Amino acid sequence: MARKAIGALALITVAGLALAGCSGGGGGAGDADNTIDGEVKGDIKVMTWRTDLIADGTFDKYAEEFTAKYPDVNVTFEGITDYAGEMQTRMSTTNYGDVLGIPTISPDQYDQFLEPLGKTADFEDTYRFLPASSYEGTQYGVAFGGNANGVVYNKKVFEEAGVTEVPKTEDEWLAALELIKDNTDAIPLYTNYKDGWPLTQSFGNLGVVTDDPDAPITMAENKAPWTEGTDVYAIDSLLYDSVAAGLTEEDPLTTNWEQSKVDLATGKIAAMTLGSWAISQMQAAAEDNGASADDIGYMAFPATVDGKQLAVVGGDYNLAVSKHSEAKAAAWAWIKWVVEESGYTEAQGMISPVLSKPLPDNLAGFTDAGVELMEINPAPAGKESLLADTANDSQIDLYGPLYRQKLVDIARGAADGDKDSYFAELNERWGAAVDQLAG
């Protein structure tokens, strides 16, 4: 009997030790000298979603240039293909690199994971795109680059179809797509339904339909945002009406993102609603496949307010310093260097987060067409995460593909209901969440 007890005890001890091994760790992160203003030295690991730039050596070149300036720093990179998904899990550990792009955590949680970089007010003279990573007047990150939102399209297909002017309203949009369908072999609008995330891109246009720089808060406080005249109504209607009119790919369940780039570049697809970051990828696809980069055009979301067209510009992932970093000063130095001096945004055709830098060439078409760029205002204090919380509570994934896939399903007759009934359902769910959260 005693022997059995000893055995059992040994077993529990072993298990306990194994479990204890999981917690603990850390050390050095709480050091008083370890601040972002400290001495720039140590090892930093940079987490990145741009695995392609690791593979082609661009980041190694950056690291070389950076260490030429700060010789006491050693930079390593960790590329993650499913960055958004994997980083969310990584955030529950203390090991998520020294420099990271802020994954989707809500602003009121920033101080649990990220090192504060200073007062937002002190950044406003130098940087764009600050609201996304600011909470209660404190800045936690700086955008790596910025994008405009709109529609990437193939100019040649539009010309061939006889569309002379880029559409500026939804009616013009549908008419143009109809012409493409009738006069060419191209798929007028490609949804990329199967891959999902491209469906979410048009949500970036929130604000352009009503010229409302506070659109996210307006939506978070509206009990029925899917009502004619709002931003989200126009954005989702454009998708619904295009699909319902048969102007999208035949079988959305078998779409393929990588292939779609080639197809757009070679004129098999006429348009996709994507951020301006996509332009350089489409141009590259065009040149790799015997077409011209000049065929790729970019237009604003087809909506006009008071006679003018608008395009939202916003930051890509925001770079931040991990609270658990052991070389915070070096991490912060890297962020400032990579954003201001590396030439990343110029090479990628993105908008630099540094105010003094010019807009990229690929948005020249925007300026010619008289499109005005707008930035979304920071959310008022205490409401930074209101839109995200309402989306989560109502289970309407504004930042994900699920509810839009359902929208496409209804539009193509593969699910019950119609536009009105689905928008009514969305309003009901959203309204219930607004009642709870916005009061």
Partner 1 sequence: MALATSGSAADAPAVLSAPARARRFRGPRRGAGGPDRWSGGSAGQRLMQHLTPWLFLSAAVGLLLLFTYWPAVNLFYFSVTDWDGIDLTKNFVGLDNYVKVFTDPRIFSVFGVSLYYFIATFAQMAIALYFATILSFSTKFQNLFRGILFFPYLINGVAIGFVFLYLFQPGGTLDTVLSWVGVTDPPKWLGDPNIVNWSLAGTSVWRYTGLNFVLFLGAIQSIPRELYEAAELDGASRFQQFWALIFPGIRRIIGLSFILAVAGALSVFEIPFIMTGGANGSATFVIQTLQTAFAFRQVGLASAMAVVLLMIVLIVTVIQRRVFPDDKVDLT
Separation of first and last alpha carbons in the chain:
63
Q: Which of 113, 91, 122 is nearest to 321 (CA)?
A: 113
Stretch that binds partner 1, among 86-94, 148-156, 237-245, 374-382 (CB under 8 A): 86-94
* Comparison of 7 and 28: residue with beta carbon closer to partner 1: 7
User: CA-CA distance, 329 to 37, in Å (whole number)?
Assistant: 6
Note whether 15 binds partner 1 by CB under 8 A: yes
Identified binder of partner 1 from the candidate list 91, 143, 272, 437, rule CB under 8 A = 91
User: CA-CA distance, 13 to 317, in Å (whole number)?
Assistant: 44
Residue 65 Cβ vs partner 1, minimum distance, rounded to whole Å:
34
Contacts 24+ apart (CB under 8 A), 48-57: 48/77, 48/78, 48/79, 48/80, 48/83, 48/101, 49/79, 49/80, 49/83, 49/84, 49/101, 49/317, 50/79, 51/79, 51/80, 51/81, 54/79, 55/79
Stretch that binds partner 1, among 88-96, 210-218, 268-276, 362-370 (CB under 8 A): 88-96
Q: Please say whether the beta carbons of 45 and 78 come within 8 A.
A: yes
* Comparison of 69 and 197: residue with beta carbon closer to partner 1: 197
Residue 335 Cβ vs partner 1, minimum distance, rounded to whole Å:
22
Q: Cα torsion for 351, 273, 155, 290, to the nearest 10°?
A: 80
DSSP letters for 243-299: HHTT-B-S-GGG--HHHHHHHHHTTSEEEE--BTHHHHHHHHHHHHTTS-GGGEEEE
Note whether 23 binds partner 1 by CB under 8 A: no
Which phi and psi angles does 79 have, rounded to 5°?
-95, 135
Note whether 355 binds partner 1 by CB under 8 A: no
Note whether 252 binds partner 1 by CB under 8 A: yes
Longest dimension (CA), the chain: 91
Q: Please say whether the beta carbons of 429 and 396 come within 8 A.
A: yes
* Comparison of 172 and 195: residue with beta carbon closer to partner 1: 195
* Comparison of 347 and 415: residue with beta carbon closer to partner 1: 415
Stretch that binds partner 1, among 7-15, 169-177, 344-352, 357-365 (CB under 8 A): 7-15
Identify residues 177-206 at the interface with partner 1 (CB under 8 A).
193-194, 196
Stretch that binds partner 1, among 89-97, 121-129, 162-170, 220-228 (CB under 8 A): 89-97
Q: Which two tokens stand for residue 216?
A: 């996210």
Stretch that binds partner 1, among 61-69, 109-117, 343-351, 355-363 (CB under 8 A): 109-117
Note whether 364 binds partner 1 by CB under 8 A: no
Number of residues that bind partner 1 (CB under 8 A): 38
* Comparison of 14 and 355: residue with beta carbon closer to partner 1: 14
Identified binder of partner 1 from the candidate list 23, 81, 112, 164, rule CB under 8 A = 112
Q: Please say whether the beta carbons of 42 and 330 come within 8 A.
A: yes
Residue 336 Cβ vs partner 1, minimum distance, rounded to whole Å:
27
DSSP letters for 254-265: G--HHHHHHHHH
Residue 215 carries which side chain, given as an amino acid letter? A
Identified binder of partner 1 from the candidate list 55, 175, 253, 355, rule CB under 8 A = 253
Note whether 86 binds partner 1 by CB under 8 A: no
Note whether 105 binds partner 1 by CB under 8 A: yes
- The 3 state secondary structure assigned to 134-167 is EECCEECCEECCEEEECEEEEHHHHHHHCCCCCC
Residue 131 Cβ vs partner 1, minimum distance, rounded to whole Å:
20
Identify residues 371-410 at the interface with partner 1 (CB under 8 A).
391-392, 395, 397, 400-402, 405, 409
Q: Which of 134, 122, 110 is nearest to 323 (CA)?
A: 110
Which residues bind to partner 1, rule: CB under 8 A?
3, 7, 10-11, 14-15, 18-19, 85, 88-89, 91-92, 104-106, 109, 112-113, 193-194, 196, 250-254, 391-392, 395, 397, 400-402, 405, 409, 414-415
